A and B are shown apart, each in its own frame.
Chain A
Amino acid sequence: MKETLTIKSQIKDNETTERISGSEAVIKCLLAEDVDILYGYPGGAIMPVYDELYKYQDKIHHVLARHEQGATHAAQGFARISGRVGVCIATSGPGATNLITGIADAQIDSTPMVCITGQVGSHLLGSDAFQETDIIGISTPVTKWNYQITKASEIPEIMAKAFYIAKSGRPGPVLVDITKDAQFEEFDFTYKKCTKVRSYKAVPETDSSMVKKAAELINAAKKPMIVWGQGVILGGAEKELKAVIEKAGIPSAWTILGASAIPTAHPLNIGMVGMHGNYAPNKLTNECDVLIAIGMRFDDRVTGNLETYAKQAKVIHFEIDPAEIDKNVKTDVAVLGDSKESLTQLLPLLNKNKHSEWHQEFKDLYAIEYDEVIKNDLHPTKEGLTMGEVLKEINKQTDGEAAIVTDVGQHQMIACRYAEFKNTRSNITSGGLGTMGFGLPAAIGAKMATPEREVISISGDGGYQMTIQELGTIFQQKAAVKVVVLNNDFLGMVRQWQQLFFDKRYASTEMINPNFVAIAEGYYIKARKVTKREELADAVKEMIESKEAYFLEVCVEKEDNVFPMIPTGACVSDIRLK
């Protein structure tokens, strides 16, 4: 019997060595990093690793996606809901290039992910061999780190480094490309987890003098406002943030990726900032005297025109990534470090406060937004269904316990605006890159990471069709994902812009759609289509009660727009209600 088949226990230190192939070493590295699920698609240059996956299938579950892009988004969904590193695997050439969209998405949304790609044999590198592509060159600008392995002996150290880099500090995607000969080559395997890389400081130390300065500014503020981002979730600082908000009585808003860190119903949660965020926090960004940014990066969709953004305010920026300080907005006090650590240090220095009058200003503006927008979205009187009322029904029937995974477009903005979250890590969406097609596969990964949770994928009819093939993955894996498509037969967000800024010239935004129910049923997934308001509650109930995957198409009003809206490049306080 080959030595490679004498499987020892999961190796976690460098105590033992054994002579195994590079491809088996890859699996052992994954096991040592507690990976029990990965998403991918086989092919020529990665076949030796797949052969080992076959042998180790009782320890590590490979999910066959229907396209490598689907595998990356599934790994992202897995990572975003669980906080663990998502892993995906693909072959060389087209397999590797198909990962790029997901990698770029993970890079801009700071998602920990390790991608393993096969590569042609090292003697063929650079020769334009079959399915050869320079994936290191291609992925460099969109990875936190990448590396090409040409010798089996490099595998343990590089894999350990890959996981450490992907999950530490500000997380991100790492790509490891392994030539086929390195996969076959035998060597003495030993594994040691990586705990530091000398040229990389994962978390800058929190400078207590800066925390003190921040506290002084906050204590002196008359109109303070917090905007938190995903950094709070990535740092596991939800409790600390809540304590800070409550002690100092600060009205607090969130960026799209920060959603769900604090429950929607919390009285000091004043909603979402940004282009389609809530009226009050956008408007009052330009009224506050101290703006406290926590784990967010002042994206242009949040700030609008930088020249007119919060110019009256002192800006405090709590941030793990030094390159984000002063990148977009000049700060008065920068507190580097991990959000949990920084907020823990901040809390005892804060004075108890209420800011009731200031908080009332938010409530007053909310009332305006409610009358002008929210009422019509959630309680429409017109005949056609709105996206908002579908969200309201989902909220009601899941009691806010569901994880909402969205795609990109109008439905995404509506979902983020109206979903009522009770738990953190319940909003999974493509924020920075705005990747249509993200939702469905990400929901698969999220469901497989947390089978106990209700995971609802909400897509539009456009984005849904970009990765619709992943229904096959749902079917094969028996993943009980609930799939909702809000169908307006349009690429709705682009159509909205065409209506508002291009005189209603609807260039290529109308979609002639297929029979979505038939397609879902083709994959043996229970499916239903709703066209009338009176059917909605029953259909959502049937979906939530289903123990298996379920597809629900809701035909909504064709030409509804998402408001409020800050037109591109406009000032945040010029947010439009219609």
Chain B
Amino acid sequence: MEEKQNFTVSVYTENNVGILNRLSAIFLKRHINIESMTVSKSEIEDVHRFTFVVIVTKTLIRKVVGQLEKQIEVIRAFYHTEDEIIYHETALFKISSKHLYDETIQNKMKFRRAHIISITENYFVIEASGLKEDIDNMYEKLKPYGLLQFVRSGRIAITRPKMAISELLLEIN
């Protein structure tokens, strides 16, 4: 049985209404759960970039990426394994102000890429970024203080191999 693993799928698309629906439909029809998703502009003017994380086999991701790429408004789609990318996630933790001067919190933050981005009378907000495991770790450590709110972003990733989108567009245009 072929093993499932994390794949980061980067999809470069036109910037039009409804593309997300079209892309998510491809995952849906194969019953694949999307672990994380981020949409942003890309390095190319007018071109958007979707970053999906899914846990599937290599055989399956190849087929899925083929079907993603087949969509009319998709310029190119790529898939990468964990060691082919540099990736990051961001999280925000909202905590009651009574813990603000708690040394244990201060210590925990020192060793992570985390800092306080807002302080009010009632609460303060910590922003942390890093790998998924880093955020998970931080979450476990801050949980005992009582999280008023917690949110994390989808993965953003830069690939080590080249994705020749600009050249491709140049050729087409």
Chain A: residues with CB nearer than 8 A to chain B?
Answer: 136-137, 140-141, 144-146, 148, 165, 196-200, 321-323, 325-327
Contact = CB atoms under 8 A, between A and B. Distances in A.
A327 B72 contact: no
27 contacts: A136-B18, A136-B21, A137-B21, A140-B25, A141-B22, A141-B25, A141-B28, A141-B29, A144-B72, A145-B72, A145-B73, A146-B18, A148-B17, A148-B18, A198-B75, A198-B169, A199-B14, A199-B72, A199-B73, A200-B72, A200-B73, A321-B70, A322-B66, A322-B70, A323-B67, A323-B69, A327-B63
Interface in B7-25: 13-14, 17-18, 21-22, 25
A140 B18 CA distance: 9
A193 B173 CA distance: 17
Contacts of A199: 13-14, 72-75
B15 to A, nearest CB: 11
Contacts of B14: 199
A327 B25 contact: no
B1 interface: no
Main secondary structure of the interface of B (DSSP, over half): helix
Contacts of A196: 172
B71 to A, nearest CB: 8
A323 B72 contact: no
A323 B22 CA distance: 16
Nearest to B25: A141
B17 to A, nearest CB: 7
A145 B66 CA distance: 16
Contacts of B172: 196, 198
Contact of B66 (A136, A140, A141, A323): A323
> Which of B28, B29, B66, B74 is packed against the most chain A CB atoms within 10 Å?
B66
Interface string B112-133: 0000000000000000000000
A140 B21 contact: yes
B77 to A, nearest CB: 11
B83 to A, nearest CB: 24
A327 B63 CA distance: 6
> Which of A196, A321, A323 is packed against the most chain B CB atoms within 10 Å?
A323
Interface of B: 13-14, 17-18, 21-22, 25, 28-29, 62-63, 66-67, 69-70, 72-75, 169, 172-173
A326 to B, nearest CB: 7
**Nearest 6 A/B pairs, CB to CB:** A323-B66, A141-B25, A145-B72, A199-B75, A198-B172, A323-B70
A136 B17 CA distance: 10
A165 B172 CA distance: 16
A333 to B, nearest CB: 18
Contacts of B17: 148
A323 B18 CA distance: 21
A410 B31 CA distance: 32
A326 B62 contact: yes
Nearest to B63: A327
Contacts of A200: 72-73
A197 B72 contact: yes
Contacts of B72: 144-145, 165, 197, 199-200
A148 B18 CA distance: 9
Nearest to A172: B72
> Which of A136, A140, A145, A146 is packed against the most chain B CB atoms within 10 Å?
A140
A321 B28 CA distance: 21
Contacts of A137: 18, 21
Nearest to A150: B17
A392 B125 CA distance: 80
Contacts of B21: 136-137, 140
A439 B166 CA distance: 47
A327 B29 contact: no
A200 B21 CA distance: 18
A140 B22 contact: yes
Contacts of A321: 70
Contacts of A325: 66
A145 B21 CA distance: 12
Nearest to B172: A198
Contact of B173 (A141, A146, A165, A198): A198
Given A326-B63, A327-B66, 5 more contacts: A140-B22, A165-B72, A196-B172, A197-B72, A200-B72
B28 to A, nearest CB: 8
> Which of B13, B17, B29 is packed against the most chain A CB atoms within 10 Å?
B17
Contacts of B169: 198
A165 B72 CA distance: 8
A144 B70 CA distance: 9
A485 B74 CA distance: 45
Nearest to B29: A141
A199 B12 CA distance: 9
A264 B95 CA distance: 77
A294 to B, nearest CB: 20
Contacts of A198: 75, 169, 172-173
Nearest to A165: B72
A326 B65 CA distance: 13
B123 to A, nearest CB: 35
B144 to A, nearest CB: 43
A200 B74 CA distance: 7
> Which of B70, B74, B172 is packed against the most chain A CB atoms within 10 Å?
B70
Contacts of B70: 321-323
A323 B63 contact: yes
Nearest to B64: A323
> Which of A141, A146, A148 is packed against the most chain B CB atoms within 10 Å?
A141
Contacts of A140: 18, 21-22, 25
A573 B116 CA distance: 68
A327 B30 CA distance: 13
Contacts of B29: 141
Nearest to B67: A323
A137 B24 CA distance: 11
A201 B134 CA distance: 41
A553 B13 CA distance: 53
